[in-house]
Structure 1
Amino acid sequence: MKAKSSGLIIGISIGVVIGAILAIVGLLCFRFHRKRSQIGNSSSRRASTIPIRANGADSCTVLSDSSMGTETSSRASIHNGISFWFTGPRKSHVVAASGILEYSYKDLQKATSNFTSIIGQGAFGPVYKAQMTTGETVAVKVLATDSKQGEKEFHTEVMLLGRLHHRNLVNLVGYCAEKGQHMLIYVYMSKGSLSSHLYNENRELLGWNLRVQIALDVARGLEYLHDGAVPPVIHRDIKSSNILLDESMGARVADFGLSREDMINRNASNIQGTFGYLDPEYISSRAFTKKSDVYSFGVLLFELIAGRNPQQGLMEYVELAALNTEGQVGWEEIADSRLDGNFDERELNDVAALAYKCVNRSPRKRPSMRDNVQVLSHILKTIQNKRHQKRRSSLSSSEVAITIGQSARQNSMNSEHHRAESMDSIPDSVEV
């Protein structure tokens, strides 16, 4: 009997031990699988091996319009927050949890000529132009090692842009989290930033019609973030240096490092964003909403109208003008002098009146981005209709001139014909 009891106890003990071992193994496998799907987050920030440059010719990020192909030497997944190589056959790419491809430091180093092809400098860090082995041109934004919010912004951009896709948003096509570095890879926007065109004399001057088109492009991008994305997204840093232009001067919203999903809890202890564009309500309440983006968009509209930097007294200038305009008409007095009067006063007043509504002190009185898109679409349609009518009128005038010319030539030919017939009808003279 004792032998049977001892055997039963030993069997139970062995079973418990085996069960515990299996549970531990299962837990380890689960944690390993979960961490493989996450984005690399280097736990140790080693000294940078990339030369961090001073400000480039352009103070903003310059990204691209080209799509990017599969890179044959992209790296694998991430374990314990640090990238590591697959020990098996080399993989062409790995799609992370965000759906964004991960690229190797070595390939980016080669594509940027050892990080010497700098094209911009922002709060995040330097931006380099890169020529990939596929022939595609991209822009590589590198997190500066002394950037306090950079790592958090890096993760925010990768996770958000992995699910946000719109023709008026700059596309993120890859990232790199290796050798203590964090890099974001975007399509390359060949025409640079909106701010560079507004304030750099070496850049192409933006005409009035193009400014309205750019405003509409930005409004559509923000409308998608507010009403098309699920859940909605608040950008939180709309400014001219974050609006990039492609080869055809189409505008796209960039830099989502401060963006947040529109959740119930939107209060923040620290003010983030760019002064001059910040919603006064946000500064006082620390609550950032969609209407805070609308305020920043209103400032951007006035920036397009006046060609003045919001960080250099633009809104004070606007408020003084508003005393005479009552927010409706008379805004032409603040128009960018470089436009040299080449704009329709009614169109400019309509855009300015919309901008003034966007910067209303009361967020509830500001229009939604959907409303802004509708108003700007109507204004741009009016501009296009005028252009078509002008072309039609010009063509009609040309046709009339051609018709008159043809009639004159025909009359001349008929006249010559009649003259010849008259000469033929005169009888020959008779010699006496």
Structure 2
Amino acid sequence: LTTGLLSEISSESDLPTVNLKVFTYAELDKATRNFALANRLGDGGPSHVFMGYIDERTCRAASLATGTPVAVKRLRTGSNLTHDEMLSVVNDLGRHVHWNLVKLIGYCLEEEHKLLVCEYLPNGSLEDHLFIPERLPLSWETRVRIAMDVARGLSFLHGQRIIFRDLKAANVLLDSAFNAKLSDFGYAKIIPGVDPSHTDPIFRTRASGIEGYLAPEYLATDQLTSAIDVYSFGVLLLELVSGRRAVQQTESGIEDNIVEWAQPNIGSRHLLDKIMDTKLREYSHEEAYEVVLIASECVGEKAQRPRMRKVLSALEQLRPSLVPAIASSSSAPVASSSTTHELSFRTLPQLQCPPSTIVSSREALSPPGCCC
């Protein structure tokens, strides 16, 4: 980050300020043990994600014994993301804070090095827990709670005029108590200048996402509305209920789409067992039936799909005991750092990091594969 650019940003009094730590590359290199292979958590598009450790008070590099774990996402060398684009990414991620979104802690923008530092969620992705055979199956209650968490996160984003565009089991991360948070906003888009509670504007953008989760009309027309997230959520619900992937190969080698697979058995209580995950030993038949019906509405025709706030409300009515005391089905409030611990959700401890003033974005929340 050059002094000139920081000076230019700081002179714009109307630009928002977000409290993020500006790391040096040397600090993150030390925090990840020189980006050791043993610390590598995975890949996300044109980036690698590493485990790092930082001191809670100073936000400086620390050891495994004394530090707080964080996830460090490093863009691969040669990324064509400019300084200004990176600053836009950081500003937008830093401003949109919610307990069902992975928290951005800080960033590094130093010469060719571009990195983001996010909270670390120790239970990995929903994808791992649903589809890796060696993992213990998630209980029915946990699956319902995860569905609520994801719906709450999407409802919040839509209220901020953000379309996620890349909802999938791999982008749902789980903390130590299996609370779910949305991660990887690489394809998210901000739809400016409208109130999504009154209208649903249509923009055109090249369809992005994963096969099986993408709404048919989006693939056909590139028309971007919040309904595409609703469709993806319906697919995710079917995965939670069935334990099947959105698309998987049959024994004959044919790719089987989960929506087409489930459709013949939806709407009949006595056919519910044909959809349910065989690894689920105990579950509420009535709740499962209602969740499948909600999923069916979400993957229906675009004009008939419910808004995410309605989906969230329907899920919360199934299990009111799983709804956090501060959460409301009518809105998804921002969780400030001062209230997060009161929610009994596990988050990163209060980090006393120096604030930075970041340039705001125009349309894209972030270019593909560059964020938490």
Q: Tell me the TM-score normalized by structure 2.
A: 0.72
Aligned to 1:246, which of 161, 175, 187?
175
CA contact (8 A) 2:265 2:275 kept: no
31 and 351 in structure 1: CA distance in 2 versus 1, 3 angstrom threshold: closer
Q: Distance in 1 between matches of 2:11 and 2:122?
A: 33
SS at the partner of 1:337?
coil
Q: Distance in 2 between matches of 1:368 and 1:163?
A: 23
Q: Distance in 2 between matches of 1:253 and 1:193?
A: 10
Q: Name the counterpart of 1:288.
A: 224
> How far is 1:282 from its partner?
0.8
Q: Name the counterpart of 1:413.
A: none
| Matched AA of 1:354 | I
Aligned to 1:302, which of 235, 238, 254?
238
241 and 149 in structure 1: CA distance in 2 versus 1, 3 angstrom threshold: farther
State yes or no: 1:374 paired with 2:313: yes
> How far is 1:133 from its partner?
3.7
State yes or no: 1:333 paired with 2:274: yes
Higher share in strand:
2
| Matched AA of 1:188 | Y
357 and 99 in structure 1: CA distance in 2 versus 1, 3 angstrom threshold: same
* Structure 1: gaps (5+ residues): 1-28, 39-94, 385-432
CA contact (8 A) 1:131 1:138 kept: yes
Q: Name the counterpart of 2:257.
A: 316
Q: Distance in 1 between matches of 2:189 and 2:209?
A: 12
State yes or no: 1:275 paired with 2:211: yes
> How far is 1:145 from its partner?
2.9
Q: Distance in 1 between matches of 2:45 and 2:9?
A: 29
> How far is 1:164 from its partner?
0.5
202 and 324 in structure 1: CA distance in 2 versus 1, 3 angstrom threshold: closer
SS at the partner of 2:223?
coil
Q: Distance in 2 between matches of 1:383 and 1:210?
A: 9
> How far is 1:101 from its partner?
2.4
State yes or no: 1:123 paired with 2:42: no
Q: Which moved more, 1:311-320 or 1:301-310?
A: 311-320
Q: Distance in 1 between matches of 2:8 and 2:190?
A: 23
CA contact (8 A) 1:96 1:102 kept: no
SS at the partner of 2:204?
coil
Aligned to 2:186, which of 241, 246, 257?
257
155 and 267 in structure 1: CA distance in 2 versus 1, 3 angstrom threshold: farther
Q: Name the counterpart of 2:101.
A: 169
Q: Distance in 1 between matches of 2:85 and 2:134?
A: 32
CA contact (8 A) 1:157 1:257 kept: no
Q: Which moved more, 1:313-322 or 1:346-355?
A: 313-322
Aligned to 1:158, which of 78, 85, 90?
90
Q: Name the counterpart of 1:47.
A: none
Q: Name the counterpart of 1:80.
A: none
Q: Output aligned runs, 1:100-249, within 5 Å.
A: 100-116=20-36, 117-134=39-56, 135-145=67-77, 154=86, 157-227=89-159, 229=160, 232-249=161-178
* Structure 2: gaps (5+ residues): 57-66, 193-200, 250-254, 324-372
Greater RCO (CA < 8 Å, at least 6 residues apart): 2
CA contact (8 A) 2:212 2:258 kept: no
Q: Segments of 4+ in structure 1 off by > 6 A?
A: 29-32, 148-153
| Matched AA of 1:319 | E
Q: Distance in 1 between matches of 2:95 and 2:144?
A: 28
> How far is 1:100 from its partner?
2.8
SS at the partner of 2:290?
helix
Spell out, residue by residue over 1:237-290, the C-alpha distance to the aligned partner (whole angstroms, 9 max, x if none).
11111000111110011111211112356211x321111111111111111111
167 and 317 in structure 1: CA distance in 2 versus 1, 3 angstrom threshold: closer
SS at the partner of 1:123?
coil
Q: Name the counterpart of 1:364.
A: 303
Q: Name the counterpart of 1:347.
A: 287
SS at the partner of 1:330?
helix
Q: Distance in 2 between matches of 1:154 and 1:272?
A: 20
303 and 339 in structure 1: CA distance in 2 versus 1, 3 angstrom threshold: same
Higher share in helix:
1
Spell out, residue by residue over 1:195-237, the C-alpha distance to the aligned partner (whole angstroms, 9 max, x if none).
111112333320111100100010011111112x2xx111111
Q: Distance in 2 between matches of 1:33 and 1:327?
A: 64
352 and 371 in structure 1: CA distance in 2 versus 1, 3 angstrom threshold: same
| Matched AA of 1:370 | R
Q: Name the counterpart of 1:92.
A: none
Backbone CA RMSD of aligned residues: 2.9
Q: Distance in 2 between matches of 1:318 and 1:151?
A: 41
Of the two, which has the highest radius of gyration? 1
Spell out, residue by residue over 1:287-328, the C-alpha distance to the aligned partner (whole angstroms, 9 max, x if none).
111111100000000010111111326873442442243477
SS at the partner of 1:312?
strand
> How far is 1:157 from its partner?
3.7
Q: Output aligned runs, 1:25-174, within 5 Å.
A: 33-34=7-8, 99-116=19-36, 117-134=39-56, 135-145=67-77, 154=86, 157-174=89-106
Q: Name the counterpart of 1:66.
A: none
Q: Name the counterpart of 2:336.
A: none
CA contact (8 A) 1:141 1:184 kept: yes
